[in-house]
Amino acid sequence: MIRILIVVALIWLALLPPLFTDGACTAEYEAAATLISASEPGIRTPEAALQFFQARAIPATLLTPEDCARSKPRFLTQCSSGTLVYADVPVRNRICRVYRDDKTLLQLQYDRRGRLSRALSEMSPYKFLSLPWGGRIDWAR
């Protein structure tokens, strides 16, 4: 009987790791999002944004409208008329990588004249368990 209770307790601990992160995942997401807003004067052009990310050892890609028309990334619904710079900021917390996402996607959209028109940051939402009879269980939402 004690072994069964230990197994149940271990499963419960494995399914609820966000309770033990003390907001670390949200803090990492917010830090990546503020990286853009705090550095806006330094990322006013696509080339400057690419250099900004490379100086911080963050993998970044510059996507021209022509490149997008040839091969659109999956996260875009449609290509725009301006250049897009996107970067993947890696998540350092192991628990966050397991139950949420291993990266924060930062997107900087520029207009035809090369001016910053939109900045967006995305991280996957919490994972959930789909039940076979319908519905779902959200993990520490």
Report if residue 70 sits inside a domain.
yes
Hunting for tokens 């790791």 — which residue is that? 17
Dump pLDDT digits (tens) for 90-141: 988 887 887 777 888 999 999 888 888 888 888 766 666 678 888 876 554 4
pLDDT for 32 equals 87
pLDDT band at 19 (very low <50, low <70, confident <90, very high): low
- In tens, the pLDDT along 20-79 reads 667 777 788 888 888 888 877 778 889 999 999 999 899 999 999 898 888 888 888 888
Q: How many domains does the chain have?
A: 1
* 103 φ/ψ angles, rounded to the nearest 5 degrees: -155, 160
Note whether residue 12 is domain-resident: no
Instruction: Find out whether 63 and 73 touch, Cβ atoms under 8 Å.
Output: yes
- Enclosing domain of residue 99: 21-127
Cα distances from 17 to residues 13, 21, 34, 59, 102, in angstroms, run 6, 7, 25, 28, 15
| Rounded Cα distance, 61 and 46, in Å | 10
Domain-embedded: residue 136 = no
pLDDT by residue (tens digit) across 28-42? 888 888 888 887 777
- Examine residue 62 and state whether it is found in any structural domain, yes or no: yes
Cα–Cα distance, 112 to 116 (Å, whole number):
10
Q: Could you give the C-alpha distances from 38 to 25, 26, 43, 120, in angstroms and in order?
A: 20, 18, 10, 13
4 occurs within a structural domain: no
Predicted TM-score of the model (pTM):
0.73
Residue 97 lies in a domain: yes
